[in-house]
Chain A
């Protein structure tokens, strides 16, 4: 693989649902590249197609048309996808919904070792889980025998991140990882994301509706509206010289501490 091969490359990528009159295009003719070790944010209002695009990158959805390459090779539609998921992993918006409520947390963390053809020995798996939990500031012994609903939202979100510390993938798709947690826990979650990025030199695709947050974390922003990427560029370019009215809208909607936002009559 040449050094400059991008991590992801999409050409005219389209994903539509339904047929005929009820056809709805969620991702419309997207063309972009994401470089290795880059943090790219997909920004837009709900329903703009950013989550479907994230699912395409995660190989959880198949493109309707167009091409999507990972490290220069098409994301295969058949064959064992586990190799892909060893490289490309995700954290989701609602950590309660992301864990199965019938199994203990520890059992579910252990399940990610399925991705390896040769599972490490029991002791090693337990050790790696413990270390990952410590890395996100959770005490391993306190989680023994616990079920998802027994923990707070912030703790659950950190568990999703612990999974990433166990798997150590090359790419992380983070789908609104801070929007369901308490505002005061957000800083913590972002800290762990940055720690992951530094430790593993990961590529991160960050999905968010908050352009301010995207500005804070990313190297590049893609602004999405109705399935299309309407603008892409560096955070400073996009936020200081927006070319799309949709970008301007997103910027106006942030509740800033420093300037007027909603005014009363």
Chain B
């Protein structure tokens, strides 16, 4: 509760949270209030925005606003799921290796490096390509998470290894804490804001990776995402036709999400750390 009060007092947190809230509202509110249909043609191709149809139509004459809302939902879902998977995997492996040291660390570092040198995009493409009908959003998100955890593991390992030799960890050990207790109470709190940053970058990269795969036609097979929309716009000459409403809104949304998460992170650094708080 105290933490929340401090958070609300920080302008960065308020801006970031409001922006994130706005994108979440944009993703989840309109379907409840409006009748949005992403599969019905509502007019000709690339009709500019009008009062009734806020973002005009796409190259097939579908309602661009409906597509955008639906795409935003999918992208958020893929991004957050991939971000969570990559952060959790990377943190577990990184913290454990970094804290334990010795041969355990050597083995985990070797595994991480092995995964790191495998070009994850190619693996993703191969994986997606080998699955035709079953390419659901969730599966794509899990794929992304499982191939991008490596650099967060490396980053977290370095942090954990430097915390390991700190006096407060030594004191925790002679207080009788086991590995789990030390990691959870005496290492992770010091990494919290760092992990949040890792999570943000993994989420952002999840959204971007998904759009790359979608561009290659290997994305989720029957779902719209922001990446999908961008890719469709580029492939169907939205740029040369001057149909800005087809590519500009998804671009802005991707930027806004990343910006919101970034501002949240920097403001939380100042709040999670009680020294900076007071």
Residues on A facing B (Cβ under 8 Å):
55, 58, 60, 81-82, 85, 89-90, 92-94, 97-103, 111-112, 114-115, 147, 149-150
Docked-complex contact B189 and A102, CB < 8 angstroms:
yes
Docked-complex contact B168 and A97, CB < 8 angstroms:
yes
Contact of A58 among B174, B185, B189 (CB under 8 A): B174
A sample of 14 inter-chain contacts (CB < 8 A) reads A60-B174, A85-B175, A90-B174, A93-B167, A98-B168, A100-B172, A100-B186, A100-B189, A101-B273, A102-B189, A102-B190, A114-B176, A114-B177, A149-B274
Contact of B174 among A89, A99, A102 (CB under 8 A): A89
Docked-complex contact A147 and B175, CB < 8 angstroms:
no
Q: How far is the CA of A258 from the CA of B273 in the complex (A)?
A: 47
Q: Does B170 reach chain A (CB closer than 8 Å)? A: yes
Docked-complex contact B174 and A100, CB < 8 angstroms:
no
Beyond contacts A98-B170, A147-B274: 9 other A-B pairs, Cβ-Cβ < 8 A, are: A60-B173, A85-B173, A89-B174, A92-B170, A97-B168, A102-B274, A111-B175, A147-B275, A147-B278
Q: Does B9 reach chain A (CB closer than 8 Å)? A: no
Chain A residues near B174: list those with CB within 8 A: 58, 60, 85, 89-90
Docked-complex contact A60 and B167, CB < 8 angstroms:
no
Q: How far is the CA of A7 from the CA of B25 in the complex (A)?
A: 68
Q: How many A-B residue pairs have CB under 8 A?
A: 60
Q: Which of B220-239 contact A (CB under 8 A)?
A: none
Docked-complex contact A98 and B167, CB < 8 angstroms:
yes
Nearest chain B residue, comparing its CB with the CB of A62? B102
Chain A residues near B275: list those with CB within 8 A: 101, 147, 149
Chain A residues near B173: list those with CB within 8 A: 60, 85
Nearest chain A residue, comparing its CB with the CB of B185? A100
Q: Does B53 reach chain A (CB closer than 8 Å)? A: no
Best-buried of A85, A101, A102, A115 by chain B (most CB within 10 Å) = A102
Contact of A101 among B170, B172, B274 (CB under 8 A): B274
Q: How far is the CA of A116 from the CA of B178 in the complex (A)?
A: 14
Question: Which 6 residue pairs are nearest across A and B when measured between Cβ atoms?
Answer: A114-B176, A98-B167, A97-B167, A115-B176, A102-B189, A82-B176
Bin chain B's interface residue count: 10 to 19
Q: Does B41 reach chain A (CB closer than 8 Å)? A: no
> Shortest beta-carbon distance, B134 to chain A, in Å?
44
Given A82-B176, A114-B176, A114-B177, A99:B274 Cβ within 8 A: no
Docked-complex contact A85 and B176, CB < 8 angstroms:
yes
Chain A residues near B185: list those with CB within 8 A: 100, 103
Q: How far is the CA of A101 from the CA of B170 in the complex (A)?
A: 14
Chain A residues near B273: list those with CB within 8 A: 101
Best-buried of B171, B189, B273 by chain A (most CB within 10 Å) = B171
Docked-complex contact A115 and B175, CB < 8 angstroms:
yes
Q: How far is the CA of A111 from the CA of B182 in the complex (A)?
A: 12
Chain A residues near B186: list those with CB within 8 A: 100
